Amino acid sequence: MKKRYFTVNEAGGETAHVGTLVASTSEELKNKLLEACCAHFDAEVTGIPNIDINDCLYGKTLDVKIDLNCDLAFPIVVTISETWLY
């Protein structure tokens, strides 16, 4: 599969931009998401579910619950959607 670009934002009220990822497989996307969330939230990510890259393509948006090792009293959910660079 060719390289694709993905926008990751915090879900909910204030949509904070987590990052833009580039990946060509589901496993690569999951690994990049782990790296981006660790940096963005400044916390250890303790859990990310398996991601199917096809659930983020062609205008679809995927919500992913992220488990962090921190004192937040609410779950972290990020949205992943395909984007394009020109």
pLDDT value, residue 61: 93
Please report, for the chain, the start and end positions of each structural domain, with discontinuous segments joined by +: 4-83
Alpha helices, DSSP H only, in the chain? 26-41
pLDDT band at 73 (very low <50, low <70, confident <90, very high): low
- Residue 33 near residue 12 (C-beta atoms within 8 A): no
pLDDT value, residue 24: 96
What predicted TM-score, i.e. pTM, was given to this entire model?
0.88
Stretch (H or E) spanning 54: none
How confident is the model over 33-72, as pLDDT tens digits?
999 999 988 888 888 899 999 999 999 999 999 988 877 6
Tell me: pLDDT of 8 over 80: yes
Alpha helices, DSSP H only, in 7-76? 26-41
